[in-house]
Amino acid sequence: MENQFSQERKNSEVIVVTSGKGGVGKTTTTANVGTGLAKLGKKVCLIDTDIGLRNLDVVMGLENRIVYNLVDVVEGNCRVKQALIRDKRHPGLYLMPSAQTRDKSAVSPGQMVKVIEHLKEQFDYIVLDCPAGIEQGFQNAIAGADRALVVTTPEVSAIRDADRIIGLLEANGFKQMELIINRLRMDMVRRGDMMSAQDVVDILAIPLIGVIPDDENVVIATNQGEPLVGSSSPAGQAYANVVLRVQGKEVPYLNFDKGISFWTRVSGIFHKA
Amino acid sequence: MRHFFRRKSSCQIAKDRLKILLISDRVNCSPEIMELIKTDIAKVISKYMKIDAENMEIQINTKGSKGRGGKMPSLYASIPIVDVSAQDVVK
């Protein structure tokens, strides 16, 4: 019975969401991609690997339901299942929170691999939220993963760090790395004050999997603790497309230009007046 | 206004800065090391021909062999030769 179950889930995929630089949208991306996959009926486990600075629980709106965490699992204080929080809004979506009162050294890459191997038996997708930086937290997060989503914004600092991360992922044997460009502002791109998605892809030279427009709805969604993937907002639609591309589907890129140019034109009229 | 003066856009400035920044990041090579490589190359070439070591230049750029998306950096050296046939060292 047990064996049959594990064979059934053989094709589970372990994806790490990483960026190098902090504050570019790793946690938001993890929450939205994970929730989006669950909305499509997949069994998804999100793991917050940022020990000491956990955030995924608040972005998901599950912060009040934490009993056990990743460090408890690793140290054997509870079973893996006990640390998983089920998201009641989406069947099949679970979160393994990180510990807030410990530090990165509480978990080793080997231990992460073990936890992930265990979870692979039950889930289609395991999505890891990687901490910023390139130290042990990063090593822990990538240890059990076989695919990476590299998040960056169209800024020099974020792109530089993303390049470094891509180099490190390559050195760690990653074959599948895909780029998400977050907080793109088409109005700025058009007047030559922001690098376009194509510019960033040319520099980083890995396949693009998503372009997320700068959208205030992301802040609102985070305030409410509910990922906006699939909503009618520009970022919600963009994330829904990322989810489809993660599953290997070809989806054309949205043209944010139209909507935004309309609003900038309107706001431009008011600014002049 | 910007269009009239044809000032470089901040996007272009960012791209130019990143291009140089990432090359040195990827190669992980400090200017001191580059200087050492340069003097060593000059030393070796000088064995065979007379060169103008003062005006020689070396640089690492991305127009090299295929790497990640065809962006593997490569080392380029531009060495002015004063006299090709010179130097009895060749014998």
Question: In terms of pLDDT, which residue wins out, A254 or A238?
Answer: A238
pLDDT of B40: 92
Question: In terms of pLDDT, which residue wins out, A236 or B2?
Answer: A236
Q: Is B20 on the interface with A (CB under 8 A)?
A: no
pLDDT at A5 over 60: no
Work out the mean pLDDT of chain B and round it to a whole number: 77
Domain A2-272: CATH superfamily, name plus number: P-loop containing nucleotide triphosphate hydrolases (3.40.50.300)
- Percentage of the residues of chain A whose pLDDT score is greater than 90: 87
pLDDT of B54: 86
pLDDT of B33: 82
Q: Is A121 on the interface with B (CB under 8 A)?
A: no
A208-213/A176-184 β-pairing: parallel
Q: Note whether B10 contacts A192, CB cutoff 8 Å.
A: yes
Residues B59-80: what's their mean pLDDT? 67
With CA atoms as reference, the chain B residue closest to A155 would be B14
Our CA dihedral for A45, A50, A54, A57, rounded to 10 degrees, sits at -10
> Roughly what angle, to the nearest 10 degrees, separates helices A234-246 and A256-272?
160
Chain A, 153-182: which have a CB under 8 Å from a chain B CB?
155-156, 159-160, 163-164, 166-167, 170
pLDDT of A69: 96
- Which run of H or E residues covers position B61? strand B57-61
pLDDT of A32: 98
Question: In terms of pLDDT, which residue wins out, B88 or A78?
Answer: A78
Q: Note whether B18 contacts A159, CB cutoff 8 Å.
A: yes
Range of weakest confidence among A49-58, A142-151, A233-242, B75-84: B75-84
Query: What are the tens digits of pLDDT across the range A42-99?
Result: 999 999 999 999 999 999 999 999 999 999 999 999 999 999 999 999 999 999 999 9
The three-state (H, E, C) secondary structure of chain A, written as one string: CHHHHHHHCCCCEEEEEECCCCCCCHHHHHHHHHHHHHHCCCCEEEEECCCCCCCHHHHHCCHHHCCCCHHHHHHCCCCHHHHCEECCCCCCEEEECCCCCCCHHHCCHHHHHHHHHHHHCCCCEEEEECCCCCCHHHHHHHHCCCEEEEEECCCHHHHHHHHHHHHHHHHCCCCEEEEEEEEECHHHHHCCCCCCHHHHHHHHCCCEEEEEECCHHHHHHHHHCCCCCCCCCHHHHHHHHHHHHHCCCCCCCCCHHHHHHHHHHHHHHHHHC
List chain A domain ranges.
2-272
Question: Cβ(A180)–Cβ(A149) under 8 Å?
Answer: yes
Q: Note whether A192 contacts B12, CB cutoff 8 Å.
A: yes
pLDDT of A165: 96
Q: Note whether B18 contacts A160, CB cutoff 8 Å.
A: yes
Q: What Å distances lie between residue A33 and A9, A40, B89, CA to CA?
A: 19, 11, 67
In single-letter form, the type of residue at position A44 comes to V
pLDDT at A243 over 80: yes
Q: Is B31 on the interface with A (CB under 8 A)?
A: no
Work out the mean pLDDT of chain A and round it to a whole number: 91
Q: Note whether A163 contacts B14, CB cutoff 8 Å.
A: no
pLDDT of A28: 98
pLDDT band at A273 (very low <50, low <70, confident <90, very high): very low
List chain B domain ranges.
29-91
> Distance, in angstroms, between A146 CA and closest chain B CA?
18
Chain A CB contacts of B10 under 8 Å are 192-194
With CA atoms as reference, the chain B residue closest to A160 would be B22
pLDDT of B56: 87
Question: Cβ(B11)–Cβ(A189) under 8 Å?
Answer: yes
Question: In terms of pLDDT, which residue wins out, A148 or B61?
Answer: A148
pLDDT of A108: 96
Question: Cβ(A149)–Cβ(A13) under 8 Å?
Answer: no
pLDDT band at B71 (very low <50, low <70, confident <90, very high): low
ipTM of the complex: 0.79
pLDDT band at B58 (very low <50, low <70, confident <90, very high): confident
pLDDT band at A3 (very low <50, low <70, confident <90, very high): very low
Residues B22-51: what's their mean pLDDT? 84
Q: Note whether B15 contacts A170, CB cutoff 8 Å.
A: no
Nearest to B9 among A156, A193, A203 (CB): A193
Question: In terms of pLDDT, which residue wins out, B66 or A250?
Answer: A250
Residues in a beta bridge with A129:
A17, A48
